[in-house]
């Protein structure tokens, strides 16, 4: 399994050298990820590093009495356990799956040992750390400066980038939790996007009708982090990726649930 095409779908595992992939392959195991599973918990020791192939996980900042708010997403384009690549063993955020999916995983202690023995593996992970930092910055800008309608447009684009489908199930309750908003406000924001002809929605399903229009509406809060990911790790989110997506059975659409 040396060529990139024959490796797992996760972008990190596809991008590293043959020698580094062989080192990781010796500690990886396949796993199915249910929805609403915590892959990391803020402040706790990282037990596993996950290399997703499908599905999407939300990265949550916790604020005590202020609850949680989404600060990023992880799909097949990145990995969890990035703090391990920076020499720490604690999670800065809670990472929780939003959809069922598949992943490879490795015990964090074995990843730490591998990074110690093979510095090239640590170096290979740093662009993914930087890509994730770009996403954090973009989400901070969106949370602080954008309207709820713009933030919802961005969220839908990010979900489509990772799930590679234009229709998915997502409840107002889940969106409200992710965005730190009231459910009624999410409903109004979704209706605003629908009135513009960008999406069509029911209570639990949203279909993107106009990807380019949605990008234009999200404006500056979508695109910067994605361009950085393209530069750093070669990810191609958006229409270019969607137009060339694999339609095989094991890449069928994933769905968001409450």
More confident site: 242 or 195: 195
Mean pLDDT of 236-252: 48
Instruction: Note the pLDDT tens digit of each residue in 23-71.
Output: 999 999 999 999 999 999 999 999 999 999 999 999 999 877 778 899 9
Q: What percent of the chain has pLDDT over 90?
A: 78
Report helix, strand or coil for 39.
strand
Instruction: Give 29: exposed, middle or buried? Use CB within 10 Å, 0-12, 13-18, 19+.
Output: exposed
Contact 27, 114 (CB under 8 A): yes
Mean pLDDT of 143-157: 96
Instruction: Note the pLDDT tens digit of each residue in 111-149.
Output: 999 999 999 999 999 999 999 999 999 999 999 999 999
What six digits make up the tokens of 132? 């994730």
Identify the DSSP state of 90: B
What six digits make up the tokens of 185? 């406000």
Distance CA(214)–CA(128), nearest Å, equals 26
Q: What percent of the chain has pLDDT over 70?
A: 90
Q: Is the pLDDT of residue 90 over 80?
A: yes
What six digits make up the tokens of 40? 């990391």
Categorize the per-residue pLDDT at 1 as very low, low, confident or very high, splitting at 50, 70 and 90: very low
Categorize the per-residue pLDDT at 5 as very low, low, confident or very high, splitting at 50, 70 and 90: low
Q: Is the pLDDT of residue 248 over 70?
A: no
Contact 254, 164 (CB under 8 A): no
Could you count the other beta carbons within 10 Å of the beta carbon of residue 201? Answer: 15
Categorize the per-residue pLDDT at 3 as very low, low, confident or very high, splitting at 50, 70 and 90: low
Mean pLDDT of 4-24: 93
Rounded to two decimals, the pTM is 0.89
180-188: long-range contacts, CB 8 A cutoff, minimum separation 24: 180/67, 180/68, 180/69, 180/70, 180/143, 181/148, 185/148, 186/148, 186/152
Contacts of 6 (CB under 8 A, 6+ apart): none
Categorize the per-residue pLDDT at 252 as very low, low, confident or very high, splitting at 50, 70 and 90: very low
């Amino acid at each position: 399994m040396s060529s990139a095409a024959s490796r797992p779908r996760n972008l990190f595992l596809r991008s590293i050298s043959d020698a580094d992939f062989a080192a990781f392959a010796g500690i990886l195991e396949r796993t199915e990820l249910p929805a609403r599973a915590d892959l990391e918990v803020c402040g706790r020791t990282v037990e596993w590093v996950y290399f997703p192939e499908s599905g999407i996980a939300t990265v949550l900042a916790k604020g005590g009495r202020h609850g949680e708010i989404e600060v990023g997403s992880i799909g097949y384009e990145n990995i969890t356990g990035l703090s391990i690549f920076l020499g720490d063993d604690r999670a800065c955020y809670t990472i929780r799956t939003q959809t069922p999916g598949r992943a490879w995983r490795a015990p964090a202690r074995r990843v730490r040992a591998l990074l110690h023995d093979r510095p090239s593996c640590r170096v290979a992970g740093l662009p993914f750390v930087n890509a994730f930092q770009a996403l954090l910055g973009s989400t901070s800008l969106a949370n602080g400066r954008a309207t709820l309608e713009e933030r919802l447009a961005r969220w839908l684009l990010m979900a489509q980038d990772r799930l590679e489908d234009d229709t998915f199930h997502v409840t107002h309750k889940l969106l409200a939790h992710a965005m730190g908003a009231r459910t009624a406000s999410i409903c109004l924001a979704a209706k605003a996007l629908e009135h513009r002809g960008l999406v069509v929605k029911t209570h639990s399903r949203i279909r993107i009708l106009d990807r380019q229009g949605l990008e234009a509406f999200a404006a500056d809060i979508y695109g910067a982090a994605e361009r950085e990911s393209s530069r750093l790790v070669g990810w191609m989110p958006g229409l270019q990726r969607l137009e060339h997506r694999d339609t095989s059975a094991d890449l069928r659409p994933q769905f968001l649930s409450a």
